[in-house]
Structure formats: structure tokens, C-alpha cells
Amino acid sequence: MKDLKYLIEFENLLEDADNRLVREAQEEGGFAIGYTCYHMPEVLLNVDKCFSVRMRAPRTGSIDISTYYMSNYTCEFARALLERGIEGGYQFLDGIAGVDACSAMNRCYEHLEILDCNSKPHFFVTHTDVPYKVEDYNVEQVASQMRLRVLDVMKERLGVDVSDEAIRKAVEEHNEMCRIMTEIGDMRKLDNPPVTGYEYHVLCLVSYCCPTAKILPYLRETLEEIKKRALDPKPWYRARVAVVGSEIDDLGFTKLLEENGAFVVADRFCYGSIPGREVIELNDTEDVVIQIARHYMKTSECPRYMADYKVAQRRTTVDRIAREYKADGIIYEAMKYCDFWAFERPLASHILTEEYGWPTLSVDRSYAVRSSGQLRTRFQAFVEALEIKRIQKQKEA
């Protein structure tokens, strides 16, 4: 297939946290609010002049300095962010909206604040609590936290409008972007899809890392381009896989998979679209922040939610999307030293194999994959096994 018109431009935007569209928005008077977790509703960070930037550390090299502060037994993602902050890579941010989801990221937030990694006088770092299950009182608690520790702080420090009207406007814009991303993502269900997993990963990341108002025109045009894209006579892939697990903002992971013949049909990982790119349905009778809090809590697939029904939800979700997107197998991945996925990955991958019948590959990985020879070998072997299994099924049929 012919390359997408804006693919190189999108890749360039992802080369730096402080990308061209972020700078444009700030030059026009906007405020950049960094965040790292799905537990922080991004729509609340997009009110009035504010816009959300999901934090990454592209082109990460050594993380020795952050390791000194955080130890080498903590999540590499958290350490990479701190390293970039110490280097001055987040000077552009006007605030960071964190959640008390995991200890490693909490320490990252704290060090970014204590080490004065941002010198703007109005800069703030705020934290909100995250519960372990979803009940009505938990929803009210989260909504209250979002009012007190996010919206009120943004209003006080940045002077922005955090009214219900401003929030609903942010949700409308968010929903348009989600509809576009969902329509493109659904094309991966086709046998000969007009978009690759790598391309979709690029699109998904720019939707998180760029101001929504700035990236929307590019996404609209790209959707129309993909609809009209001339396809190759035969699908290019050897096997279809759903990727499940912890944070992946490294395009190298998806590229490495697809170089070895695996088409990533579903991205059920942190910084992916499942969840993350679902429309938020609002009514006119209930408090808007409570509705938003409930949406994010119910759709979250984070293993921090430890209630039995949430554990079961995560497994049935993986089974469902693997079937919907016609996956041949499932890859469970976890970043090294990620506390929650270190527990979730081994058991869930075993259950998906033994109880649901899915061929499953379980891997742990570094934050920056690059051209890992070990991962390449494991991906090659898994794709071969899936391909052989599919050929055998076709013969039996």
C-alpha cells in the first residue's frame, strides 16, 4: 500500500514530547497539562485554554541519573520520564495531573516536583486517589477528587474556565476524535485491512500527545485517505495478534512485531485505544464530572482494579476483542518491574490459553525495545506457530 500522506509528519511529532503542535497551541495562549494514566480523564485536562499531553520519553538512552533516585528495581517507564525531566525535557509543561495508581509513578511525580524540573512560576503537580473497585461511592469519591485536585487547581493556577459548559465542550471535541479513531481501528477487523498495526499505533499516539483541536484536522483527512486507499491483492501479514498489557508508547515494539509478519489487530494496552478511544455518553440530568468519572472507571482495564468482577472483566475483554478482530493469538506484555502487570500477565496469559483456548505469548520488556534480538526471536517463533496452526485448520476444513 502507498504510505499515508501524514505518516512521516506524525512520526516527527512523536520524536519530541514538546512537538510542533504543542508549541503552536502554547504560542496561541494554551496551557499544556501532562499526564500518564488512564485513571486521569484526559477530557478534564482539555477545558478552555488547557490541553492534555500524555507524557512519553522518546529516544530514551541512559537512565542512570533517575535510577540513582529511584533504584534499578522500579518501572523503566517512570525512570525514563524522570530522566527526561531532569534533562529539562518537560520545561514546556504548565502542570502535571497525576494519579496515585502505582508507587513507581508516584515517586516519579514527586521527584519531578522536588528536583525543580520545571521553572515556570505557575507550574503545579497534583495527585488524585484511585480506588480498587467501582462502586457508586467510589465514583463520587473520584469525581470529588477531580473537582478539588484537578479542576480547581487548574482554575486557581492558570485562570481557566472549568465550568460544566467548558467540560461538555471538551467532551464533544474528544468524542469526535474518538469516532474517527474507532472507525479507523475497526478497519483492522477486515481480512485485508487498509491500515497496518504500526500506522494505527502512530495515529493513536499522536491523538494522545498532541492538542486535540490541532490534531483533529489531520485525523479527519487521514480517515478519508484510508477509506479510499488502494489495497494490495493479498494481505501482507502471516498472523493476526492482539497485544495486551502495560504501557507501550515505543513504536519500535509494534514495528518489530510487524517486521516478523504479525499484524497487530487490537491494542489492549496502556496508551492504546482499547480502552481510551470510546465516546463518552453524557446526559443532561446528572453531574457531568460524575458521569465522566464513571465512564473512565467502568471502561478501565487496569490491573490496579483488584475486585473479582474487574479481574474477570479484563479476561473476558481480551477474549472478546481477540474474536472481534479475528486474532490468531494473543501477546501479553509487561514492562520490567511493573508491579501490577507483573501479577496480571502470568496468570491471565495462562488462563487465556488453558480456559479460553488462545495461543498466548507472554513477554516482559524494556521501556525502549529498539531491535531486541531476544524479542525478535520470540516473535518469529510465535508467528510461525500461529501460521502453522492456521494452515492445519484450513487443511482439516
pLDDT of residue 131: 87
Collapsing DSSP states into helix, strand and coil, what is residue 242? strand
Within the chain, which residues score under 70 in pLDDT?
A: 371, 397
pLDDT of residue 33: 98
**Residue pLDDT, tens place only, 223-244:** 999 999 999 999 999 999 999 9
pLDDT of residue 225: 98
**Domains plus CATH for the chain?**
234-396 (3.40.50.11900)
pLDDT of residue 99: 94
pLDDT of residue 263: 98
Beta-strand runs (E) in 227-375: 239-245, 262-269, 329-335, 360-365
**164-180: b or e for each residue (b if 16 or more CB lie within 10 Å)?**
eebbebbbeebbebbeb
**324-345: b or e for each residue (b if 16 or more CB lie within 10 Å)?**
ebebbbbbbbbbbbbbbbbebb
pLDDT of residue 372: 76
**Residue pLDDT, tens place only, 376-394:** 999 999 999 999 988 888 8
pLDDT of residue 328: 97
CA dist 168 and 288 (Å) reads 8
pLDDT of residue 130: 86
